[in-house]
A and B are shown apart, each in its own frame.
Chain A
Amino acid sequence: MAAGALAHVNWESCLIDPQRDRALETYARRKMGIPFPTLRYFTPVPWLARALVDLHPEFGLLMHLDLHQADVLTLVVSQENSCRFCYAAIRMLLWAQGMSEARIQRIERKLSGGELEPKTAAAIGFGRHQSRVGPQRAGEARQTLRDAGFGDAEMKEVAFVVGLTDFMNRVNTIPAIPSHTLERMPGQFHMRLLRPLIKRILAKQRVRGEATPLGRPPAYPYGRLIEAYAGLPIAPVLGRTIEDMWESPILTRRAKLLMLAVVARGLGCEVCAIEIGQALRQEGLDDAAQSEVLSHLDAPGLDDVERALVRFARETIWYEPAVLQRRARALRDMLSGPQFIEAVGVASLANGLCRIGGAMVMAHP
């Protein structure tokens, strides 16, 4: 299988070295049923590696949204974000489920040609809007979903799948995780032999979620977002990911909050900005200092790492892969390996959460 519609997208050489972590790999294999080789790139930051496994929607996180529709959304958003890795991964997933390359191409043609049933068209329109425009005017995009017949819970799941894909796309694009292995897999003889087995495993592992109580919402930012998902299995998993990110000692909480604040400002997410502003005040950064950082991406009180992270965070909002990867390389050269990977994770999560938050909280009447 070729790189498909993203064959023209320039992709730099990978910025990070894989490191094996047997415990994490076993965890991923149990949850997904198949090995997750690229997890090795992220093992130095355990919360991020776990998030890449736990937040996969098809493994028990969706209760209402059709799984095929979720796959199609992932395909469209990955294409919008020019993520060669995720695009190859979702095409590989479709192939493993039994679709031929010709059928996948037919689906892609339908997606760009507009011959879609109204619900799929609305979901795809929403995904494209969130990726191209962000949370601004999310109310209109949300209304389009409602008009097409989506209920509240189903809309939340659409927003989650889109935001999560925005997160995954950045996690894999920023460090230029190699996509060629995935792109070549369907053409390999042994993969063709294994395909029926992979199909059976995926069919067994891809399960619908069940109603799950939220428990305690995160005390730090994004509490309102998590509460908006209360009752769905997404809420506790997303909440735990956010809590684990705060607990991780690799980058300071203040540095992470600054990155989140920059992404919220860049995307115009008012809800995220308010919550993050409160948390930054708890970290000792008053309103004037916050305003200085967010207006100019610099302030006298920032240390060199914070300054670099703040500037990098804005690069992740709208980007072209190769340009972003070159700028990420400069950041990598000034940070430790785990710091760089955590920076990738925080910036990516910020982009995903702001897009989900903008759609589900900010746009909510």
Chain B
Amino acid sequence: MMPTLAVGAALVITAIVAGALYRQWRHTQVLRAQLEAAAADLQHLQQACARLAPAGVVQRLITESAEAERTAAAERKVATAMFVDIVGFSAISERLEPSVLVRVVNGYYQRMSDAIDEHRGQVGSYIGDGIVAYFGALQPNPWQCGDAVRAALAMRDAIRAYNVELERDGLPPLAIGIGIHRGVGLAGLVGSRERQEFSFLGSAVNLAARVQALTRVHQVDILITEAVRAELDKSIVLEPMPAERVKGFAEPITTYAVKGTTADRRD
């Protein structure tokens, strides 16, 4: 009787231990799967980050300590800044229903962003109806001015095509103004501890914004500065504009309207 009881008790204990071990094994498997998923997400994030901030900054953010990242989260570089906005947006926004307006603006954003991406630029931010984009701010790009101007020409074509769609839907056409300037600035992640975004800071960016405002003065859609013109090849057709004083800059600013390319003219 006693040996039978002992064997039975041993079996029960073994079954309990085996059950507990199995549950533990299952639990470990689940945790491992979660850990692997988290690691994969982390890897994706690291790669996505490289598209949002200068490569050197991302590299330092990953390899250096949290304390160091606050001082190393930006680097000085030469980049080309582009400002874009919709001419007469306030009037348009008052005429359209909010849901229609959002659809129109989203279509505009999408087309402008596609043209910027296609020409190796990065959208920095959307401000109201405006877009700020940078060329050569993330990775070295010696051809950044040509890329920015060709992006602007592609944006002009995209707006023309979009206006055909808007007209078909009985909506008002859009017109844009684009200002482009190249100069030295600080590229990196800026913002509060809770929210940071990629930005390119400096007087070069301010001047690009002023040049964009000059498109209204000169009644043209794309304006560039002398610093950009100096980097362009002869296939870009330009028209010099009278120098204008702009806020924050002591000297009058000479700008050039971008008419198109020599290839367009042959066509």
Contact = CB atoms under 8 A, between A and B. Distances in A.
Say if A and B assemble together. Answer: yes
Interface of A: 4-5, 8, 79-80, 82, 102, 105, 108-109, 112-113, 121, 125, 128-129, 132-134, 136-137, 265-268, 292, 294-298, 314, 317-318
A121 B142 CA distance: 31
B56 A108 contact: no
Contacts of A317: 139
Given A79-B43, A108-B43, A132 B59 contact: yes
A280 to B, nearest CB: 17
Q: Which interface residue of A4, A82, A132, A137 has the most chain B CB atoms within 10 A? A: A132
B35 interface: yes
Chain B interface mostly: helix
Interface string B74-93: 00000000000000000000
A137 B75 CA distance: 12
B58 interface: yes
Contact of A133 (B35, B47, B56): B56
B42 interface: yes
Given A112-B43, A132-B58, A296 B233 contact: yes
Interface string B50-85: 100001101100110000000000000000000000
Contact of A266 (B50, B142, B233): B142
Contacts of B42: 112-113
A5 B146 contact: no
30 contacts: A5-B40, A5-B44, A80-B47, A108-B39, A108-B43, A109-B35, A109-B39, A112-B39, A112-B42, A113-B39, A121-B63, A125-B59, A128-B59, A129-B59, A132-B55, A132-B58, A132-B139, A136-B140, A137-B56, A265-B142, A266-B143, A267-B140, A268-B140, A292-B233, A295-B231, A296-B232, A296-B235, A297-B146, A314-B143, A317-B139
Contacts of A298: 233, 235
Interface in B117-176: 120, 139-143, 146
Interface string B182-224: 0000000000000000000000000000000000000000000
A318 B139 contact: yes
A125 B139 CA distance: 17
B106 interface: no
B46 interface: yes
Contacts of B56: 129, 132-133, 137
Question: Lowest 10 A-B CB distances belong to which pairs?
Answer: A296-B233, A132-B55, A5-B43, A109-B39, A318-B139, A133-B55, A133-B56, A125-B63, A112-B43, A105-B36
B27 interface: no
A294 B143 CA distance: 9
B5 to A, nearest CB: 43
A266 B140 contact: yes
Contacts of A136: 140
B46 A112 contact: yes
Contacts of A82: 47
B32 interface: yes
Given A112-B46, A128-B59, A132-B139, 13 more contacts: A5-B44, A8-B44, A105-B39, A108-B43, A109-B36, A109-B39, A113-B42, A125-B63, A132-B59, A266-B143, A268-B140, A296-B235, A297-B146
Contacts of B146: 296-297
B43 A134 contact: no
Nearest to A267: B140
Contact of A102 (B32, B62, B141): B32
A169 to B, nearest CB: 14
A105 B38 CA distance: 11
Contacts of B62: 128
A267 B42 CA distance: 28
A270 to B, nearest CB: 13
A294 to B, nearest CB: 8
Given A5-B40, A79-B43, A133 B143 contact: no
Contacts of A137: 56
A5 B140 CA distance: 26
B128 to A, nearest CB: 29
A79 B35 CA distance: 19
B59 to A, nearest CB: 5
A8 B56 CA distance: 24
A164 B40 CA distance: 26
A266 B120 CA distance: 13
Contact of B140 (A4, A109, A134, A296): A134
Nearest to B43: A5
Contacts of B40: 4-5
Interface in B13-47: 32, 35-36, 39-40, 42-44, 46-47
Nearest to A7: B40
Nearest to A124: B63
Interface string B230-244: 011101000000000
B46 A133 contact: no
A292 B234 CA distance: 10
A145 to B, nearest CB: 13
A181 B55 CA distance: 32
A80 B141 CA distance: 19
A213 B42 CA distance: 45
A347 B109 CA distance: 34
Nearest to A101: B36
A306 to B, nearest CB: 15
Nearest to A105: B36
A91 to B, nearest CB: 13
Q: Which interface residue of B32, B42, B44, B139 has the most chain A CB atoms within 10 A? A: B139
A133 B59 contact: yes
